Chain A
Amino acid sequence: MGLFAELRDSVSRVTASLFADDSEPKRIGIYGPPNAGKTTLANRIARDWTGDAVGPESHIPHETRRARRKEDVEIKRNGKTVNIDIVDTPGVTTKVDYSEFLDHDMEKDEAVRRSREATEGVAEAMHWLREDVDGVIYVLDATEDPFTQVNTMLIGIIESRELPVLILANKTDLEDANIQRVSNAFPQHETIPLSALEGDNMDEVYEQIAKYFG
């Protein structure tokens, strides 16, 4: 009995420290399809506010195959301070095919392995979305058509969970970028254009992060 009581006390202590404290950083998941620039954005935010990077970026889809977290990123905006944990998630997709990696100078074995890891990554990202995020930054490649099954489904899930969501139309440094198309696709949400790579319009991004997730 003593052991049980002790255990119960320690559990309730942990629970209290986890959930009762309002100053606990919000966990913000960076979601989006593969190659939208999620890791580039995560690195940009992390470097701007902590000096560290989150993970490697590349042009090859599914570079991020495990969710990576950067904890306690403190963003100061207009005298307000927001603490967030950034979770950079693997790109979400409905199909993973190793053959698409073969174009990137990859051996078949490695491509198959990457594909498997990417699939695990999607499963993990979806799991995190269900269990573990308090808000979502949804990153889209503004040069791509936003009307996809994945985007619609994920935004739908996020809406059904009533999570605060910011939609970022990334890659505005590219000529084909069409921000209007993105904001038309999800008119119910705030769409912010940016280039995570170049750092363009990051001020507005931080402002909106402070507003939405503060």
Chain B
Amino acid sequence: MPHQCTNCGHVFEDGSKEMLSGCPDCGGNKFQYHPGEVPDEPAVDDAEQSEPPEPEGGSVTGAVGRAANRVRDAVSSGPPSTDAVSDEDEATDDGATVDTATGDDGATVDAATGEDSANATATSDDEDSANATATSDDEDAVPQSGGPTSSTADPDRAGSGAAPETEEVERADSGTDPAVDGVDTGDTATTADAADEAGVQASTADEEDGAQADARSEVVDMSSLPDRADDGRVVKEPDDSEDRPDIEDLRQELNDQFESIRIVAPGQYELNLMELYDRQEYIIALQEDGQYVIEVPDAWEAPDPTETE
């Protein structure tokens, strides 16, 4: 997370060795480091919470989307993955139109589902916004859920990340709009109930995929981080959130393994001499804010320096 290619914005995990040979996307060899990013994130979250509607939409769609997913899993306790896929396909096909078309009949049940899902994900923050989305819903739902998608459609995401993102949005649509679930279950009432059930199961259901399971085990603040990061400068793989539970431990471990210069504070550094010696590239310039410039050697091999005679 903290390393970012200054050229194309590709983000690397703290301690990633991938970047040692240059950015795999663009070949760039300048990276900046965001040291405070991960620990600071809850604070950033709160700050952003009150800011523009887009991040809000992102978290709500996320929360509602997860609830919807739970509904789906709860209802179709058979093979969830294929169901989900077919769901998504349907949603992809008619997500927007279903939304607007069924706006009227969806409205009341909608609100209930929205609330439940917001509660189910156990956040006080999102409840209000979830209600807001759910009640004002159907007209808003499209632009809101559309917002994050378009804003996060970076070059990076376009390739691999686009699918999960739209999937999430579609789920959000289906979550706020039971009509889509109705296609599966044929019964909106059941869906609403199932949503409650899903809320209860929130912490135990384990048949979801990794990112969702993780998102559930976390507070929503954390799980909505990818979206927030997208709204900011940093593009992030959805899977990155898997590392978050013990990010501090992981960071420590990676630091021990890898970091050659550790910035303790501005003007305070710890140096791992062996790492500095072992690395072929070297750090040309450190900057106050934690950014640094490294030289990545490419085709040129240094002559064998052990030849002393």
Chain B associates with chain A: yes
By a beta-carbon cutoff of 8 Å, the part of chain A in contact with chain B is 15, 18-19, 26, 92-99, 108, 111-113, 115-116, 119-120, 122-124, 126-127, 129-135, 150, 153-154, 157, 161-164
Residues in A whose Cβ lies below 8 Å from that of B283: 120, 123
Residues in B whose Cβ lies below 8 Å from that of A26: 308
Closest to B309 in A: A22
Residues in B whose Cβ lies below 8 Å from that of A150: 273
Given A15-B303, A95-B269, 14 more pairs with CB closer than 8 A? A94-B271, A94-B273, A95-B271, A96-B268, A111-B267, A116-B287, A122-B276, A124-B282, A130-B305, A131-B305, A134-B308, A135-B308, A154-B273, A161-B306
Which single member of B277, B287, B307 contacts A130 (CB below 8 Å)?
Answer: B277
Residues in A whose Cβ lies below 8 Å from that of B268: 95-99, 115
A122 to B286, CA, bound (A): 12
Closest to B275 in A: A126
B286→A120 contact, CB < 8 A: yes
Residues in A whose Cβ lies below 8 Å from that of B285: 120
Size of chain B's interface in residues, with CB distance under 8 A? Answer: 28
A92→B308 contact, CB < 8 A: no
Query: Known contacts A124-B282, A131-B302; is A157 also within 8 Å of B277 by CB?
Result: yes
A112 to B302, CA, bound (A): 33
B129 smallest CB distance to A (angstroms): 42
Closest to A18 in B: B303
Closest to B307 in A: A19
Q: In residues 246-305 of chain B, which contact A (Cβ within 8 Å)?
A: 260-261, 266-274, 276-278, 280, 282-288, 302-303, 305
A127→B306 contact, CB < 8 A: no
A186 smallest CB distance to B (angstroms): 17
Residues in B whose Cβ lies below 8 Å from that of A93: 271
B305→A123 contact, CB < 8 A: no
B270 smallest CB distance to A (angstroms): 6
Query: Known contacts A123-B260, A123-B282, A127-B282; is A95 also within 8 Å of B270 by CB?
Result: yes
By a beta-carbon cutoff of 8 Å, the part of chain B in contact with chain A is 260-261, 266-274, 276-278, 280, 282-288, 302-303, 305-308
A161 to B302, CA, bound (A): 15
B288→A112 contact, CB < 8 A: yes
Closest to B266 in A: A112
Closest to A27 in B: B305
B308→A163 contact, CB < 8 A: yes
Query: Known contacts A123-B260, A132-B305; is A98 also within 8 Å of B267 by CB?
Result: yes
20 contacts between A and B (CB under 8 A): A15-B303, A19-B307, A92-B273, A95-B271, A96-B267, A96-B268, A96-B269, A98-B266, A115-B268, A115-B269, A120-B283, A122-B273, A122-B276, A123-B260, A123-B282, A126-B273, A127-B277, A132-B305, A157-B277, A161-B306
B276→A123 contact, CB < 8 A: yes
Closest to B303 in A: A19
A123 to B307, CA, bound (A): 23
B12 smallest CB distance to A (angstroms): 19
A21 smallest CB distance to B (angstroms): 13
Residues in B whose Cβ lies below 8 Å from that of A164: 308
Closest to A134 in B: B308
Nearest 10 A-B pairs (CB), nearest first? A98-B267, A112-B267, A126-B276, A127-B282, A115-B267, A119-B269, A96-B269, A123-B283, A126-B277, A97-B268
